[in-house]
Structure 1
Amino acid sequence: MSVSPTLSEIDLKRLFPFSLDDFQKQAIAALDAGRSVVVCAPTGSGKTLIGEYAIHRALHRNGRVFYTTPLKALSNQKYRDFREQFGDENVGLLTGDLSIERDAPILVMTTEIFRNMLYGTSIGAVGTSLNGVEAVVLDECHYMNDRQRGTVWEESIVYCPPEIQLVALSATVANSELLTRWISHVHGPTELIYSDFRPVPLQFHFISSKGMFPLLKAPRGGKKATEINPRIKSFGKGRQGRKEEPALSFVLSALEQRQMLPAIYFIFSRRGCDRSVEAVGNLCLVTPEEARELRSRVGEFLARNPEAERAGQLEPLLRGIAAHHAGILPAWKGLVEELFQAGLIKVVFATETLAAGINMPARTAVISSLSKRTDDGHRLLKASEFLQMSGRAGRRGMDERGHVVTVQTRFEGAKEAAFLATAQADPLVSQFTPSYGMVLNLLQTHSLEETKELVESSFGQFIANLHLQPLMEEVSQLKEEYRQLASQVAQVNEEDIHSYEKLRARLREEKRLLKILWNQAIETSAQTAREALPTIAPGAILSLKGPNVRTKDPVMAVLVATAPSPGQAPYLICLGEDNRWYVVLSTDAIAINGEFPDWQEVGQTVLPGEIAFKPGQSRKGTAETAEIARQISAIAEPLYFAEVEAQQQRMKAVEAQLEQHPLNQWGSPGALFKSLKRQKKLASEIRKLEKQLDRQLGDRWGEFLNLIDILVEVGCLKVSDAEPDAEDDNPVFEVTAMGESAAAIRGDNELWLGSAVRSGLLDNIDPHHLATVGAALVTEVSRPDTWTNYGLSPAVEAVLGQLQGLRRQLFQLQRRHHIAFPIWLEREPIALVEQWALGVEWNELFENTSLDEGDIVRILRRTLDFLSQIPHVPHISESLRVNAYRAMALIDRFPVNESIE
């Protein structure tokens, strides 16, 4: 695609003097055409350039751009990069606890902050905080897959005003086209810019104790490599058939010999990373010049931060080896990132969190295991996880190719590695989940019907709608048929229908009674006949019933002869009025209807011929017997039962009323009632299918309504005295003062945090106690063996004891409404927060707990973030507001405070 000189108001060649890739040109063209874009391309392919173009264009027009990222650390990194690229005065930062130049034309922030901005504005409107914003860059958009934070991305896309362009930058995902269609649906025209091109191609390797080899067979004809290298198919088995894992020193030696350093060595545990650093011993991977540069830089860092030095980390670092995981002191981790980017660290043993956004490319990515332990058990890596880590390999402008090395383990080998290396990326899965904060913020500015529309605009709902389209079309067709039937019977008088139905019901009852009376009369007559049978002779005319009789009504027959039977009563051989011979039991005679005249003469000429004397036997008569058969009906006295006759007359009277009914003027009442029956059946089918649709489409809305019920019960919402909307008849909700307090807080459970803040229990406690209680409300410790040598003060214990009652009530309320948001009230590790607030030195604090330094910092930073929100919560006491500021000052010191310089 050639770039037209009029493609943009900006001189692209001046901005980007290097050659642009096709997908970058396509994205720029789409933005200039006024469309939003989803840029889906591999890690390291240059997606960020699209966001930078949007920034250049906005600066040229005196507009603004918001650049959002999923992580504070990544936002800080982008802030530093953009200040260097665009000038300090043009770049601001918002991360919740940091607010720098918030009116700058380029404002970097976490995606959550952007979502919170949108909460304060009617959806679709441009609020004061978005004045002049031309585009919003959603970096790492594939974070929609994140179970805890994915909702934020979906809300940001749905709530963002349509006149603001979205620039969604994502790693490759399987359903990028669906994502683009969804954004087009909920936001505005959006174009997918897809590329699988990597400027630095990847080469996959497999290493076992027998050596390092290419993982895949060399392709032919320019095709991608997809088949496993036949040379390594049988590798990995040693004594007793066990798979032999290569030693760490063997792997590092192979990387060094092949000039494949620097490398990120991914290990799925903190302890594994630390043990690997220890296991390399005295191995040195840097040159003397690099060693001098390392000592200089590390010395400067420690001069600024003397408390950050750790003997177990310093010596390996000076030899070009480091660990990088969440348990390490963040400041030290930042130093590792800086030195790795400078090429001074050759191997970083890291958990997979390093692959999530932080700019730390390497020549080689080593993946130590192809499976990992999760909350759901031990499982193989997902394709996207493998691709995310692999994407760190290959530095643009520095390496001709990147290398991905998979390591033989006891559990997996080359087969699993080849599968993941050739697998397609996983699809994005919607993680949209309503929260208390979402409910309270939306209902402050929207009606219930508007809110439902927003909630049902999620990505997951969009996909569900597509999958359920056939079912929705079926419902639509059934409704159309129902509408047509309803219009057909609309002109019929409803009272006529009811009266006709009553007559039909009465006729059915009269027929039922007739059947009962008939059966009773037949049984009485049969009893009389059975008593008289022993005395009657051939020529008697009988009424027969039984399995041998083919008609429903009794058959008139003349008794021709009897035959012996195994029982006492003989078989009766009869000629029926239908000219058929019957062999019956005496119990089959239900009445004696007279005698055939002159039977002694006539009977001599009537013989049954060959017929088996077995009950139920029947055969056709002859031409000779036909005349006798015709006379039987005329001779016999018909069956007559007075009660039956009376009932038949009543039945005929009802039939006559039906024939004369006004409903007959509309045509056949039978057809009408068939239509009514079909209409009723359609209504039932429609209800059933709509319930099925509601179950699959309305799960999130059902959760939303459950949250409303809870919020009403606790007093955060109330039903307004205003009349419901006439169109939808939905109630109007008002957010109370307590609800406004909860809505102003961000957290895992805004209702719990808002209830604690509004309880009055925190109003008059000392600042260091407030910090400690705050930590209890926001801290989650997953390991049961966590310990500290510090105890909580009585003042904190007293507050926690009172909060426990509130917690128990909220637990019960949530359980009743099938809601499972966490309600933290941690006790064990939060004593560290109190000691830190009282001034204990960092090294002493660290020595008195089982927690890693990174975990301690995380607890303190989460506490600091919560405390920083309290002064902005409406309807709280001034003493609590002041003490929150004081508590923040007590804990916001190195290494808790974040440096962004």
Structure 2
Amino acid sequence: MSTQPADDSAASPAESYARFRRNQVSPALTEFADGYGFGFDDYQREACEHVEAGSGVLVAAPTGAGKTIVGEFAVFLALREGRKCFYTTPIKALSNQKYADLVRRHGSGNVGLLTGDSSINSEAPVVVMTTEVLRNMIYANSSTLTDLGYVVMDEVHYLADRFRGAVWEEVIIGLADSVQVVALSATVSNAEEFGDWLAAVRGEMRVVVSERRPVPLFQHVLVGRKLFDLFAGEAPTAQEIASQRRADVNPQLLRVSRDESRVTRDDARRPRGRSGKGKRAVSYGSGRYGGATHARNLDRGQGGAGNDRGGDRGGDRRAHHGTSRADMVGVLERARLLPAIVFIFSRAGCDAAVRQLLGTSVELTDLDEQAQLTAIAERHMSGLSAADRKALGYEAFFTGFVRGIAAHHAGLLPAFKECVEEGFVRGLVKVVFATETLALGINMPARSVVLEKLVKYNGETHADITPGEYTQLTGRAGRRGIDVEGHAVVLWQPGLDPRAVAGLASRRTYPLHSSFAPTYNMAVNLIGAVGRDRARTLLEQSFAQYQSDRSVVGIARQIEKNTDEIAARFAAAACDQGDFVSYARTRDEISRVEAEAARDRKADRRDEALASLQGLTRGALIRVPAGRSRGWAVVLDPGVEGQRAAPQPQVLTEDSSVRRLALTDFPTPALTAGRVKVPKHFHPKDKAARRNLAAALRARLATVTLDPDADRPSEMNAAARTRVADLRAELQRHPCHTCPDRETHFRQAAVALRLEAENRAAEQRMSSRTTTIAKQFDKITTVLEGFGYLAPDESGQVRVSPSGRMLARIYAELDLVTAECLRAGVFDDLTVPQLAAVLSSLIYEARRTDGGRFQPRMPDRVTEEAMTAVRRVHREVSLAERDARLDRGPEPDIGFARAAFGWAAGRPLAQVLDDNDLTAGDFVRWVRQVIDFAGQIADAAGPSPVRETAHQTVRAMRRGVVAFEPDDPTPGDDLSV
């Protein structure tokens, strides 16, 4: 970190002159910098100078590099000039943290806080808020925006978030031109592109990029109990990475990898012992810690799993590089690499890691630290009753916490997370097992970061982490002002390739991609504010549209390249007997017509099959045309209920098997040939009942006349048959048809024809991408007009109707479905707990890993009937979206309904948690979202019984652990810069 003399008397003449020149150019910056006990880095000073000069600025720098200095300078300027500054963050926890920082610096009278459920001094000159709050202010044309001079957008790279990212673009586009935007981002590889877009939308915007970490980062691999450097020499610098310089991997690690591969191969050939397992092979890891220029600074652990020479009775030894978590912590402690964040890409894995360490003798705190941690925990939990503490598992949390061990993930109770964050920042908590969400936003730097694995579940599959994710995670290592270096440690796993790890650690490929897409709420708000035409123009200014337009350049280049290749291929296909290009086109046309006819036949048959399944009833005797259940079967359950895209009938086959069928089993429609009586109390698991019903099925089949052509696909339609026949006749008459080299010529022409098809598709993409967002907006307005949320006025201009103004207050993903439910009276007669349950279904989204003792269901008959109405509304909206060619919104999810009902009904926390298989953190987070949503419903409903019920729901649910906000902690040294 750079330093500068605290006063001119200690400065050299050159330093004094430089200070004088800076004071002449940037007097406000000089005054601001004097309030800090350290000198600013060059990039910080450059960015601040741009802000003082009146320009907006995008600052992209690594985690912990101190880019918030630039945001704090905007706050300083606003106070100095008598204007307002809004400091926006993506999450409430970061807003709270920044609010505390700014209050310490500027006083509570000058700083306010606005989040979803907190409002403190909202008319202060400086207000910290979540980005959604500012978006809502802009749409409402709030008077709070008066005299706004600066908006700081911290963690602006969140605009890539597929769920919430659009909010950042809405704010950037919607702010008045007079507002200076200071955007702070993690390092992204397309900062210049993002900056160019900001300049196009906001006017003058300067881009300041810093790749330099203020604390150098060293990379390691932990093999057994031995810590190896990843690189043979110095790790590559940011400049070397940018110039594609690749550092050499530590040869000792490569040797470990080769030896492991050899042992694996040898073991595959080794005769098995009586246990059925191969005998143990040689153990590695006893070599010297390799290669680091800073190795002298580390205290290596001796011995351990990596040095174990023991074996079984056979005397052979197997390579073993695994590291227990207790061993890992021991290695880090001896090497003086604590405190550490250990990233585990699983909530359950984080909690299990803490339990594992609590089952060992690991204790990382002394008596004084334990006393401080106890005080932190008591301060954060003082407002909770003994019953709530017990329900929340406080004793288990506290046991690990005072030993310096904790977990941190989205499923953790917010009060627990705040304990962990404060304890960690103060250096009292030494090891935190965390999911990757900790890498986003919250200021929790560590001396070292450990990655247990380099694979994580991305919502669909287990995939390797990207270089950008690796950099984001390891960026937490190295506390500015405390550590002289940070350390990233990867745990050895079977099959680990050190070169692949080196690739992750030495690449900077993480571009920022827009996730912006117009919504119904966005459309009515924009049209209400600026009119339809202006709204369409504004949306065309989004970063998503900007990136689409720029991508057209690459498409055009590919078309040009293909065009040259097409000419060359057609030239190579030249035939001395005639025009081979025309011959090839005729032949290609035959293939195209046949393929289209086949697709049409398949689509028609699929529609017929779907219709046949939708008409099935219990007891129907059907013929299954394909799949392992092919043959005759009797329907036990039509499978048309619930939220399936297609029916999934449950049937009993001729061999007494009970199976659930899918649409893939019906390439042709289900043939129905009568009925078989299914006993009223038939149970699929009763073998005797299955045998009896199968016998009745076979008896019924004896009376059925089989159609041998029932399962045969239909033939090509008459028009297609005629067209193909004409083309084949034309082909036979063509002079090139008799050429002896015809197939050789056609191979060349076929490539050219394929490239022509690629060019046609590319040209369509070019045409569509130039107005992607605007076309999406047009589709959305079509749906809104169909439902009456937009309507023409006397002059023919599209305006927002009263129903549209209601929709403008609803910010949920299922905004239009919710508005339609309000209009249809679905919520009218519900009690407070019932309304909470039904509203939860419109915002809740179950995690893919959710699943426990309880199947999702509604809590009572009234809410079940209400959900039937909600699903009917959802289907109506979905049909309109299908007709407009819009993606359908998510299905309502009743997974949180019982919990919302129970909490709104006043049930104790322990009972609600036990009845619903929920973690405390998930429960609190979703209840708070239901509270916020109920507030939106109250605002949207207008004077009505629903408004009062919604307000009562908010009051009923805002209690106990949900409403609990611990006293503002007094953090230790501010490490944010």
Q: TM-score, normalised by structure 2?
A: 0.66
- 2:775 pairs, out of 702, 708, 730, with 702
CA distance in 1, matches of 2:214, 2:449: 16
Deviation at 1:206, TM superposition (A): 0.9
Q: Which residue of 1 aligns with 2:584?
A: none
Where in structure 2 are the equivalents of 1:384-463 lying within 5 Å?
384-410=468-494, 412-463=496-547
Aligned partner of residue 94 in structure 1, secondary structure: strand
Task: Tell me which moved more, 410-419 or 355-364.
Answer: 410-419
Larger radius of gyration: 1
The match for 1:899 among 953, 965, 971 is 965
Q: CA deviation at 1:691?
A: 5.3
Q: CA deviation at 1:470?
A: 8.5
2 CA distance for matches of 1:195 and 1:688? 40
Contact 2:837–2:896 under 8 Å retained in 1: no
- Among 868, 871, 888, the residue aligned to 2:938: 871
SS at structure 2 position matched to 1:366: strand
Q: 1:451: how far off?
A: 2.0
Contact 1:787–1:829 (CA under 8 A) maintained in structure 2:
no
**For 2:188 and 2:49, how far apart are their aligned partners in 1?**
23
* Residue 620 (structure 1) aligns with: none
**Comparing 818-827 and 376-385, the one that deviates more:** 818-827
Counterpart in the other structure of 2:209: 194
- Structure 1 SS opposite 2:949: helix
Residue identity matched to 2:826: L
How many pairs were matched up? 677
Q: Deviations over 1:410-469 (max 9, x none)?
A: 353422221111011401011111111111111112333322221111113223333435
In structure 2, do the counterparts of structure 1 residues 38 and 300 end up closer, same or farther at CA, with 3 Å as the change threshold?
A: closer
Cα deviation 1:693-742 (Å, max 9, x = unaligned): 3312222222111111111111111233414xxxxxxxx21111111111
Query: Match for 1:794: what amino acid?
Result: R
Decide which of 424, 431, 440 is 1:340's aligned counterpart: 424
8 Å contact from structure 2 (residues 28, 52) kept in 1: no
Change (3 A) 1:221 1:116: closer
- The counterpart of 1:826, out of the listed 858, 874, 893, is 893
For 1:298 and 1:471, the matched residues in 2 are separated by 58
One of 139, 156, 178 as aligned partner of 1:141: 156
Identity %, equivalent residues: 33
What are the superposed Cα offsets for residues 346-367 of structure 1, whole Å, 9 maximum, x if unpaired? 1000000011001111111111
CA contact (8 A) 2:32 2:76 kept: no
Q: Is the aligned partner of 1:295 residue 2:374?
A: yes
Letter in 2 for 1:81: D
**Structure 1 residue corresponding to 2:912, chosen from 845, 850, 855:** 845
| Distance (whole Å) between structure 2 residues aligned to residue 898 and residue 453 of structure 1 | 44
Task: Give the match's secondary structure for 2:490.
Answer: strand
Question: Counterpart in 1 of 2:876?
Answer: 809
**2:891 & 2:964 partners in 1: Cα distance?**
25
Q: Is the 8 A contact 2:56 2:180 kept in 1?
A: yes
Cα distance change on mapping 1:263 and 1:881 into 2, 3 Å? same
Could you tell me which amino acid in structure 1 is paired with residue 876 of structure 2?
Q
In structure 2, C-alpha distance between the alignment counterparts of 1:446 and 1:220, rounded to whole Å: 53
Given candidates 341, 349, 354, the residue that maps to 1:264 is 341
After the TM superposition, which residues 874-893 of structure 1 pair with which residues of structure 2 at under 5 Å, given as runs?
876-893=942-959
* Alignment map for 1:663-682 (pairs within 5 Å): none
Q: Are the counterparts in 2 of residues 387 and 425 from structure 1 also a CA contact under 8 Å?
A: no
1:844 Cα offset (Å): 2.2
Q: Does structure 2 conserve the Cα–Cα contact (< 8 Å) formed by 1:787 and 1:828? A: no
Partner of 1:5: 23
Seen in structure 2, the aligned counterparts of structure 1 residues 772 and 458 have a Cα distance that, compared at 3 Å, is same
Contact kept, 8 Å, 1:857 with 1:895, in 2: the verdict is yes
Kept in 2, the 8 Å contact 1:774–1:863? The answer is: yes
The secondary structure found in structure 2 opposite 1:235 is helix
Distance 1:117-1:295 versus aligned 2 partners, 3 A rule: closer
Aligned residue among 180, 189, 195 for 1:180: 195
In structure 2, the partner of 1:693 is 766
Q: CA deviation at 1:768?
A: 2.1
C-alpha distance in structure 1 between counterparts of 2:235 and 2:150, whole Å: 44
What does residue 757 of structure 1 align with?
Answer: 822
What secondary structure does 1:44 align onto?
coil
Give the secondary-structure state (helix, strand or coil) at the position aligned to 1:304.
Answer: coil
Q: CA RMSD in A?
A: 2.6
**DSSP 3-state at the match of 1:5:** helix
After superposition, the C-alpha distances for 1:349-405 in whole angstroms (9 at most, x for unaligned) are 000001100111111111111111213422211122111111111111111111111
| Cα displacement (A) at 1:85 | 2.1
- Alpha-carbon distance, 1:142 to partner: 1.0
Amino acid in structure 2 at the alignment position of 1:709:
T
Within 5 Å, give how 1:450-849 maps onto structure 2.
450-469=534-553, 692-723=765-796, 732-783=797-848, 785-788=851-854, 792-849=859-916
Cα 1:425–1:85 shift into 2, 3 Å? farther
**CA contact 1:134–1:165 (8 Å) conserved in 2:** yes
Partners of 1:213 and 1:396 in 2: how far apart?
Answer: 24
1:254 matched to 2:331 = yes
SS of aligned partner of 1:114 = helix
- In structure 2, what is the equivalent of residue 378 of structure 1? 462
Offset at 1:846? 1.5
Conserved? CA contact 1:788–1:828, under 8 Å: no
Closer, same or farther in 2 for the Cα pair 1:153/1:741, shift >3 Å? same
Determine if the alignment matches structure 1 residue 111 to structure 2 residue 131: yes
The match for 1:234 is 255
More displaced, 48-57 or 73-82? 73-82
For residues 224 and 963 of structure 2, the distance between their equivalents in structure 1, rounded to whole angstroms, comes to: 45
Shift of 1:169: 0.3
CA deviations 1:60-98 (Å, max 9, x no partner) are: 111110101111221122122222222111111222333
- Report the 3-state secondary structure (helix = DSSP H, G, I; strand = E; otherwise coil) of the residue aligned with 1:778: coil
AA aligned to 2:829 is N
For residue 100 of structure 1, report the CA deviation from its aligned partner: 2.2
SS in 1 for 2:23: coil
Structure 2 Cα separation of the partners of residues 750 and 850 of structure 1: 28
Contact persistence 2:219–2:235 (CA under 8 A)? no
2:670 aligned partner: none
Rate the CA distance shift 1:328–1:687 in 2: closer, same or farther, 3 A: closer
Residue 171 (structure 2) pairs with residue 156 (structure 1): yes
Give the direction of change, closer, same or farther, for the CA distance of 1:688–1:824 in structure 2 (3 Å limit).
closer
After superposition, the Cα gap between the structure-2 partners of 1:24 and 1:272, relative to the gap in structure 1 and judged at 3 Å, is: same
CA distance in 1, matches of 2:208, 2:363: 44
Report the counterpart of residue 363 of structure 2 in structure 1. Answer: 284
Confirm or deny: 8 A CA contact 1:40 1:193 kept in the other structure: yes
Task: Please say which of residues 362-371 and 151-160 is displaced more in the overlay.
Answer: 151-160
Which residue among 62, 71, 87 is the counterpart of 2:91? Answer: 71
Q: 1:362 aligns with which of 431, 439, 446?
A: 446
Alpha-carbon offset, residue 785 of structure 1: 2.4
* Cα distance change, pair 470–47 in 1 and its aligned pair in 2 (3 A): closer
**1-structure distance, mates of 2:477, 2:762:** 51
Contact (CA 8 Å) 1:206, 1:215: kept in 2 or not?
yes
Structure 2, gaps ≥5 residues long: 1-17, 241-245, 266-318, 560-758, 969-977
SS at match of 1:322: strand
Aligned amino acid, residue 748 of structure 1: E
Counterparts of 2:924 and 2:224, CA distance in 1 = 40
The code of the aligned residue for 2:53 comes to: A
Contact residue 380 and residue 415 of structure 2 kept, 8 A: no
Letter paired with 1:707: I
Residues 88 and 208 (structure 1), Cα distance of their counterparts in 2 relative to 1, 3 Å cut: same
